[in-house]
Structure 1
Amino acid sequence: MMLETSAGPMPAAAMIDEEKIFNKVVWRIVPLIIACFVAAYLDRVNISFAKLQMQSQLGLSEAAYGLGASAFFVGYLLFEIPSNAVMARTGARLWIARIMISWGAASVAMMFVRTEGWFYFLRFLLGALEAGFVPGVLYYYTQWFPASRRGRINNLFFGAIALCGIIGGPISGGILKFFDGMYDMPGWQWLFLLEGIPSILLGVVVLLVLEDRVEDAKWLTAEEKKQLSAALARDPRVDSTHSFAIALRRPVTYLFSFIYFGLCMGIYGFLFWMPQLVKTAGTSDPLMIGLITMLPYIAAMIGTVALGRSSDRSGERRWHLAGCALAAAIGYIVSAAYGDNTVVLVIGLSIAATGVIASFGIFWLFPARVLTGTAAAAGVALINSIGQIGGLIAPYMVGKVKDVTGSASMGLYAIALVCILTAVLIAYAMPQRIRFRDARMDP
């Protein structure tokens, strides 16, 4: 096995030592972070399953549900940058733990919703408390993994969205079906209670297990720390800045933001509406809906891992990312055109889910090429905040379109158009200076 770097190939013996070190780091950090992200997305989108019961019980319209789903992103937007600014001072470990414990408590509190106003408020609060988690983790990864490895590491991380769908769909459907009426509580209340508690517990585990920096890792030897730090120092950067103020004035920061906006429109279009789309296509049993919604996420998990490995193997990022956005558009078009056919609908949703989920891990490699230090923590938060506007728009837009037309198809076509425009931006608007290939890593 040979690793190519800007300084030339490394000897095989050195590579073996480095591979062992990174495997050690991966097993220490990545499984726990993935578990946390699964919990994050489960608490963020379990409203899509709760909707199957709570909407009729609370008398919510489709637009009201969509607005409540979107309210999460209002809180997320307002508190994303402040949250990451605090993280830069406190360290990722402490702040990620705080984020998880508090959002878990807010998710549990959703079981007490009785009115539209409280529905909106608690969704807003959930977003405000979760703000900073994803940028915090991405920043944390830059402290432990060089760019040549972060493609697959990021894709494993964002692949947790698919894992959430695989395990979350059947669990959520099962809770709705089998817990409904237990101790005089409807299934949707049990859903929020049972799926909020794990986030609180995982937050405590983060506090006990993770370290902020390589230098703090007592589970690495002095030589392992030295080699790991040297690998991180080899990362290529182009015209990088450490200043958040400078990052705000650079056009490339807003290009990244617009691209991420399109990708977020893509993912939230199906995250909040897939169970309803499957129900509309002809399935009424909550457990069966949960099992059917597993399928697009299984496809997405396989595709995300494969695309992450392909991108790392070649070192090519831009065309992989543009291809993912285009695949998402194709998937949405198929889903909109065949919304009354469960089989074809699931195929379309599988294509969309694979394209958009795989895109996240590759996308976040680009900001790291030009943002470092404080700008990496706060600038990434800015990009994520602007991108999350897509999450604010997509759920409400689909709900409003469904209220007016009786079908979600036009909303899905609109999301497909956004994904196409995003693919064009990726392919042709990226500055030449950041289109370089990363070091190639043979599997």
Structure 2
Amino acid sequence: MSHPVSGDLASLHLTPANTTASPALAAREEDALYRKVWLRIIPFLFVCYVVSFLDRINIGFAQLQMKQDLGFSDAMYGLGAAIFYVGYVLCEVPSNMLLARFGARRTFTRIMVLWGLASVGMMAVSTPAQFYTLRFLLGVFEAGFFPGIVLYLTYWFPARRRAAVMAIFFAGVAVAGVLGGLVSGWIMRDMAGVLGLQGWKWMFAIEGAPAVFLGLIAARCLVDGPEQARWLSAGERAYLTRAARGEAANAADAGKGGHSGGHSLQALRQVLRNPRVYLFAFIYFSLTCGSLALSFWMPLIIRDFGITDVMSVSLYSVVPNAVGAVGLILIARHSDRTGERHRHFLLCTAGGALALAALTLHPSSLAMMLAILSVAAVLIFAALPVFWSLPPSYLPGAKAAAGIAMISSVGITSGIVSPWVIGQIKTRTGSLDHALLLLAALLLASGLAMWLGVPRQPAQGSRQARQD
């Protein structure tokens, strides 16, 4: 083509159909459009997700002081960590279906403001009953945020671009681990005694407040989808809308699900009868057992090596999280570039399982232990965006909201089981070794279930990936 490339799809009147007729031009124009969308919505949602995960994992750092101050055992503390996921699981499907009905802006605002208030309220805990109640409410209020992001991204990005986009959010898990190490350790050490409050109380207050402010910003800045985005031209809005609808139709064909719309209750009934949803849920359950345990118990693994200072434990925990953030982005980009998911997922889960098993050999040096934790973080965290690039491709229209939430909520019950079981094992044996071997087995089962049980992604996504 001899004419110049414009950054505005409206000037070229492109549609998803005629992008194929002019692939070189379409690739440049499409890249420019998706870069524009990325810059507008991803940085804000990334910050929100970092704050959400920081509020979720700071309980792991709080245990370094909170258990002793309140007289909680490992089993009691593990139960409190698990109760968060009871509320989370119970409310996740309803929350995501409300997002599909009322829009992302109002849903994300509600979620962030309420979970921020509950997180700040953790500073008032003084009894086990209060601890359990606030952890449950935190789960109720935060429910739907992550599956809501997954659903929201399907409105903007096609499947072939989604693993790299999702990797940004899962890098947020690692970033939250880094911030948790640096900020939580500093707050707990240096704010202890200020206004007569313990350091862990200040940590909950300071790290919970940003969620409230971000929720108020979301009410002003987010839009429900491309059709409401005033910062896009009419042609760009039309292109993204047609692309999303076309992908939903392809998902209906791949899932043999008929029409892609329908009443939300009908969609939920169809999802509940879909065995593939339960397979995805099992895979996610097994995977998140490993990822959540790594985030929650990493400070304790480091402390058990002989690092007793709270700030030192926090600083050492930065290393695996920082390495994990970089590694998962690189692996997800490679998965998008090659259009391959299953092999990437199997290698990540199998490698992560080996790394967790290696921790039971009790490395002789701190450097070796941090290296093994870093390998585990890279591979386990990288499996998450690769996984979440797949389910939306098989769940059309109204089924996507219910299906994504079902997979997330059933899978995230690992957050109920994992902390409690690991807490019980550690309380009874005085070691995490048996728990780490159990988690390694679950990770391997996750990879094998994906490899053997989930059909390869519809061919169209791979063809488009190769065209890009």
- Asked whether the two chains share a fold, i.e. TM above 0.5, the reply is yes
| CA shift for structure 1 position 8 | 5.0
1:440 and 2:465 aligned? yes
One-letter identity of the residue aligned with 2:175: L
Seq. identity, %: 38
Q: Does 1:290 align with 2:314?
A: yes
Residue of structure 2 in register with 1:198 after alignment: 210
Cross-structure match for 1:421: 445
Partner letter of residue 370 of structure 2? V
Q: Deviations over 1:216-275 (max 9, x none)?
A: 000011122233334435534313534221121111111001000011101111111111
Residue identity opposite 1:285 in structure 2: D
Match of residue 239 from structure 1: 255
Which residue number in structure 2 is paired with residue 262 of structure 1?
286
Which one of the candidate residues 78, 86, 89 is aligned to 1:74? 86
Q: 1:62 aligned to 2:74?
A: yes
Shift of 1:435: 8.1
1:408 maps to 432
Q: Which of 119, 124, 136 is 1:107 aligned to?
A: 119
Task: Determine the structure 2 residue equivalent to 1:49.
Answer: 61
Deviation at 1:441, TM superposition (A): 5.7
Matches within 5 A, 1:30-429: 30-235=42-247, 236-237=250-251, 238-239=254-255, 241=257, 242=260, 243-338=267-362, 341-429=365-453
Inter-partner Cα distance in structure 2 for 1:65 and 1:341: 29
Does the 8 Å contact 2:271/2:402 carry over to 1?
A: no
How big is each residue's C-alpha offset from its partner over 1:25-65, in whole Å with a ceiling of 9 and x where there is no partner?
00110000110000000001101111101100100001111
**What are the Cα deviations for residues 174-195 of structure 1, in whole angstroms up to 9, with x where unaligned?**
1011101111110000000000
Q: Deviations over 1:353-375 (max 9, x none)?
A: 11221111111122111112221
Q: Which amino acid aligns with 1:406?
A: G
**Equivalent pairs, count:** 440
- Residue type of the alignment partner of 1:366: L
1:180 is paired with a residue whose SS is coil
Contact 2:156 2:226 in 1 (8 A): yes
Q: TM-score, normalised by structure 1?
A: 0.95
Is 1:99–1:133's contact at 8 Å kept on the other side of the alignment? Answer: yes
Structure 1, unaligned runs of 5 or more: none
Alignment-mate amino acid for residue 255 of structure 2: D
Aligned partners of 1:350, 1:297: CA distance in 2, in Å?
7
Which residue identity does 1:65 align to in structure 2?
Y
C-alpha deviation, 1:14, in angstroms: 2.6
Change (3 A) 1:93 1:38: same
Unpaired segments ≥5 residues, structure 2: 1-15, 261-266
Paired with 1:205 and 1:340, the residues of 2 have a C-alpha distance of 48
CA distance in 2, matches of 1:9, 1:281: 61
Task: Give the direction of change, closer, same or farther, for the CA distance of 1:240–1:307 in structure 2 (3 Å limit).
Answer: farther
Q: CA 1:226–1:119 in 2, change beyond 3 Å: closer, same or farther?
A: same
Q: Which has the larger radius of gyration?
A: 2
Q: CA deviation at 1:13?
A: 2.3
Question: Could you say what secondary structure the match of 1:440 adopts?
Answer: helix
Query: Partner amino acid for 1:67?
Result: L
Offset at 1:433? 6.7
Name the SS of the counterpart of 1:272 in structure 2.
helix
User: Is the Cα contact below 8 Å between 1:240 and 1:372 reproduced in 2?
Assistant: no
Q: Once the two structures are superposed, what CA deviation does each residue of 1:151-185 show, in whole Å capped at 9, x if it has no partner? A: 10011111110111122211000101110111111
Pick the aligned partner of 1:11 from 20, 23, 33: 23
Shift of 1:323: 1.4
Question: Which secondary structure state, in structure 2, belongs to the residue aligned with residue 284 of structure 1?
Answer: coil
Label 1:375 to 1:148 Cα distance change in 2 as closer, same or farther (>3 A).
Answer: same
The answer as to whether partners of 2:115 and 2:141 remain within 8 angstroms in 1 is yes
Aligned-pair CA distance for 1:442? 7.8
Paired residue type of 1:206: A
Match of 1:299, as an amino acid?
Answer: V
Offset at residue 15 of structure 1 (A): 2.2
Post-superposition offset of 1:331:
1.6
Cα 1:25/1:55, change in 2 over 3 Å: same
Instruction: Assess if the C-alpha contact under 8 Å between 1:335 and 1:344 holds in 2.
Output: no
CA RMSD of aligned residues (A): 2.0
Matches of 1:340 and 1:57 in 2, distance apart? 32
What is the rounded CA distance, in whole Å, between the counterparts of 2:91 and 2:129 in structure 1? 21
Q: Deviations over 1:270-320 (max 9, x none)?
A: 111111111111111111111110111111111111111101101011111
